[in-house]
Each structure stands twice: as C-alpha cells, then as structure tokens.
Amino acid sequence: MAIALVTGASRGIGKATALLLAKAGYTVAVNYRHNIVAATAVVNAIAAQGGKALALRADVGDEAQVMAMFSALDREGEPLASLVNNAGILFQQSRVEDLTAARINQVLSTNVTGYFLCCREAVKRMSHRRGGQGGAIVNVSSAASRLGSPGEYVDYAASKGAVDSLTIGLSLEVAAEGIRVNGVRPGLIYTDIHASGGEPGRVDRVAASLPMQRGGQPEEVAEAIAWLLSDSASYVTGSFIDLAGGK
C-alpha cells in the first residue's frame, strides 16, 4: 500500500478526493485544520467502503505543524506516493482598496506557503535523488488565477496565480527525479467555501452565466485529480486541467 495525503480533506473537494483515492487503493491521510468530527467521518466512510485512512490535524500554513504531520506519515511505514494540495481559504467578498495586510497574509499563508511546505516535505520523501520511489503531486488552484476575481477576492485569485507558478516551476525542478506535478483549476463548485465569502448561494447565482449553465460537483474535480495522480497520466507533468464548465 502507498499513502496519498489530501490536505483540507474534511469536506468539499478534498473529501470527495479522499473517498475516490481510497477506492483507487491508497491509504489516505485526511488532513484537516479544525473540524475533527468531519475528518473522522471521512475516515469512517473510507473504512466503510473497505479502504484505509487516518485523520491528521495540521494547519498547513504552520511549518511546525506540517513537519509534525509528515513525521506522523513516516511512522505509518508505507511510502508517500501522492500529495493533493487542496486546503484553501477565502474571505468576505471585498474590493482591493478595502483589503488589510492581515487578511492578505492569512490567505497567502494557507494558499501559498501551505502548498510550498507540503510540496517541500513530499519531494524530500519522493525524490529519486533522495532515495525515494517517486510520486505525484496535484495542486488545487482555481479558475480565479485566470479570471482575477474582481470585486470579490483578488487576494485569493492572486494566491492561486502563485500556485500555478509553483506547479510549473516545481514540475520542471523534479521532472527527472520521478515526481510529476500538475494542477487542477476548478470553477464554481458546490462546497461550503462560498459561505466564507459571505454568499453561500454564489454557485446558483452565477451558474446560468457559465457556458455549461451549471455549477460543478466536488466529485467531478476529484476524478481529474485521481487521473493526474494515476499511472494513466504517466507522461503528464506541469499541466493544468480546467474544471470550470467552459469558463
């Protein structure tokens, strides 16, 4: 067995990805920040479908907590084969002129520093250069990196732009070391993240304006992530799959 670590897997896209990767045969590490009840429910759901999982608490923006999480994975005695950097946050819809440094830094800490730290620890364990068996990383970005999210959360969009650059740069850095690094860019997906922006019904409000005239489901994003991690995508690195209904 091999481990797949999914950050922010207690709900939404991370949860759907964790459930699917468990079906694909991984031992799934379900990372969460606060909600142990929700994370434990994901672990139990995986066990109920015959899979293996463990819940790991860590704020991905906190270096010490990330290090402790990866040390806990090392003690499982199975190699880390896959990382899904998924834990992401956004705040109340706002214009740039109203953003505070504290808010901008909080978004960047989770959405950018968190992705970097988890990539760093994963590469240390996966790289052929360091005696690892190789692996695959998927960074969950957003269509916002292309669209900019004006009037809503340009700070969040900019953090996803950084995720795209991280994906390109790291994919090239480790391409010859047995590690593939790719990204997915979801559009409007039905999850709780929109409530954080102050508009729980955002997907339904905007859905009609999308080419496909509907929002997406977390499971539709999970399918792309699972494919990018799989051997079926063995020659794919530094690539992005847009899951945004045509936008």
- Quick check: 205 binds ligand NAP (CB under 6 A)? no
| DSSP bridge pairs for 29 | 5, 54
Q: Is 156 known to be catalytic?
A: yes
Q: According to the binding rule CB under 6 A, does residue 14 interact with ligand NAP?
A: yes
Tell me how far, at minimum, the Cβ of 95 lies from ligand NAP, in Å: 20
How far apart CA 107 and CA 31 sit, in angstroms, is: 18
Kindly tell me which of 26 and 156 has the beta carbon lying closer to ligand NAP: 156
In the set 26, 115, 153, 156, the catalytic residue is 156
Q: List the interface residues with ligand NAP, window 138-177 (CB under 6 A).
A: 140, 142
Q: What are 205's two structure tokens? A: 């409000």
- Using the rule CB under 6 A, is 89 a contact of ligand NAP? yes
CB of 105 to ligand NAP, least distance (A): 13
92 binds ligand NAP (CB under 6 A): no
Question: Tokens at residue 35, please?
Answer: 């909600």
Smallest distance, Å, CB 139 to ligand NAP?
Answer: 9
Cα–Cα distances (Å) from 132 to 120, 123, 125, in that order, read 14, 9, 6
Active site amino acids: 156
